[in-house]
Structure 1
Amino acid sequence: MKKILITGGTTFVSKYAASYFCEHGYEVFVLNRNTKKQVSGVTLIEGDRHNLGGKLKNLHFDVVADITAYNAQDIIDLTDLLGSFDQYIMVSSSAVYPEDGTQPFIEECERKPNKFWGKYGTDKIEAENALLQKVHDAYILRPPYLYGAMNNVYREAFVFDCARLDRPFYLPGDGSMKLHFFHVKDLCRIIEKIIETKPAEHILNVGNEQPVSIKDWVTLCYKCLSKTPVFVEVSKKIEQRNYFCFYDYEYLLDVKKQKPLLSKTIALEEGLKEAADWYFANEQEVRKKDYLKYIDEKLQENL
């Protein structure tokens, strides 16, 4: 039984990963401050990654899955405090690529600040750099928008709410802007394949092969509730982040290098249905934003 250390373990991606690897026969350790309910079956290492003392020094892990590293100091402090390990896999982000770069982004593209992601993106660049200095053979994964069960970010859940309330959907422009997604389970499957096969490629874009337009994505979300959206087009002059859950930023990753590890990804329709079922059973776990309030109080009067 392989021992895997997962940083986090109580929110979205890290929580899903903890559950996934427990179900797939791993001995799962999670590192968090124990402020939320833990996944059943894990062994908790309680503490802050920046101040662990000697809690990790006498432990060996087959795999470290670092899902909550957001900046260089996160990497430096954890790697300094770890005992021994065989593999280190970091979940980074496609936010490391600049918005004006040549698309689709390949792994060799220059990493630069992205005006939409700001400090989040530049911090991820610095975290990647720090990791490769500390662990030369580490693996780095760069996903686009992640979705699926346990998602506490108000994205697909926002559209599910609109569908549940039989509201028209206020669409940025004509809805043709593309979004790129990846199911959190597919991310876990990639991590497991890396553990099993130790591929030669150490930096990987991961994601669905094709993006989807906003309009088609919203339609699929409504379909999860057996409903069809009525669209209201909103001028691009109105800031879309006030009433919609994504930036006005279209990008595409080249994910060819993931093919040997994951030949087929979860269909978006299937993944969204799972996300909807989870959301309606766990609504209290999602951090909701005031999109509906803005639509009702400000947007409608400006149309």
Structure 2
Amino acid sequence: MILDIYSRLKKYIFCSSGAVYKPSNIAMEECFEKGENPNWGKYGIDKKEAEDFIINSGIPYLIFRPAYIYGENNNLYREGYFFDRISNNKVIPLPFGNNIKTQFIHIDDLIRIFESAMYNKSVSKIYNVTNAEIISWEYFIRKCGEVLGKNPIIKKIDINQIQLEPRKYFPFRDVTYMLDIKQLVEDGLYIPNISLEKGLERAYRWYIERKPNLNDIKMMEKVDELEELFQKRSNCF
């Protein structure tokens, strides 16, 4: 029944994720091996299975695999977490030691890519989508601080000395996550161009206007514990 409906479509556009790829420390092309990735767990597996179903269905499709999505109306406690900590002069524990590099795409850029896909002649292809800028976690946090006009209080947590899973105190997984978008460029689809600085400025304006009540139960308890530890150490001097 569903396939009968889909068969009448000229093109089915599916938003997948870079989480379908196996772990890698390099920028992944679309042909990079897919499979189980312990960093993303069931989410990545579910996206992969959805992709496989679409690819094998005979439906004309375009599949997009974004990197981290950020911007206005984000329901995940990510950039909002940093805005909260910086504005309240709270310590931001930062996992340190893995030399992590990653990429982001602003939600408006992602939407424009979907729009361009409707008019592009490409069909039955897969594309990585992200802003080409490669950044570190510290760079991201400091950009958040620039948007607020305040210096973030960053305390680096040496992952080789403190045996605590970074995701317990940080809103992102501490893994390299980079995507090659050469195919997107070559096929003439919209190219993400909202810089991290501009994107965060827009996200912060939304944050101020809407005052979203977001949290991350998985990490907040450990963040507070680490903050207390830093305060005790400071009192010793």
Query: Do they superpose with TM above 0.5?
Result: yes
Q: Secondary structure at the match of 1:280?
A: helix
1:205 matched to 2:128? The reply is yes
| Paired AA for residue 295 in structure 1 | V
Query: Higher RCO, 1 or 2 (CA under 8 Å, sep at least 6)?
Result: 2
Task: Identify the residue that residue 61 of structure 2 maps to in structure 1.
Answer: 138
When residues 269 and 234 of structure 1 are mapped into structure 2, their CA distance, relative to the original with a 3 A threshold, is same
Question: Any unmatched runs of 5+ in structure 2?
Answer: none
Kindly state the Cα deviation for residue 250 of structure 1 after the two structures are TM-superposed. Answer: 0.9
Please give the residue correspondences for 1:22-33 in structure 2 after superposition, counting only pairs within 5 Å.
none
1:255 matched to 2:178? The reply is no
CA contact (8 A) 2:101 2:134 kept: yes
Question: Would you tell me which structure has more helix in proportion to its own residues?
Answer: 2
When residues 283 and 212 of structure 1 are mapped into structure 2, their CA distance, relative to the original with a 3 A threshold, is same
Which residue, out of 200, 208, 223, partners 1:295?
Answer: 223
Which residue, out of 128, 135, 138, partners 1:215?
Answer: 138
Please give the residue correspondences for 1:139-218 in structure 2 after superposition, counting only pairs within 5 Å.
139-173=62-96, 176-199=99-122, 202-218=125-141
CA contact (8 A) 2:86 2:152 kept: yes
CA contact (8 A) 1:145 1:180 kept: yes
When residues 102 and 211 of structure 1 are mapped into structure 2, their CA distance, relative to the original with a 3 A threshold, is closer
Q: Distance in 2 between matches of 1:285 and 1:83?
A: 42
Task: Identify the residue that residue 84 of structure 1 maps to in structure 2.
Answer: 8
Task: Identify the residue that residue 94 of structure 1 maps to in structure 2.
Answer: 18
TM-score by length of 1: 0.68
Q: Distance in 2 between matches of 1:197 and 1:79?
A: 23
Task: Identify the residue that residue 286 of structure 1 maps to in structure 2.
Answer: 214
Q: Secondary structure at the match of 1:232?
A: strand
Q: What is the aligned length? A: 226
* CA RMSD, Structure 1 to Structure 2 (Å): 2.4
TM-score by length of 2: 0.85
When residues 201 and 223 of structure 1 are mapped into structure 2, their CA distance, relative to the original with a 3 A threshold, is farther
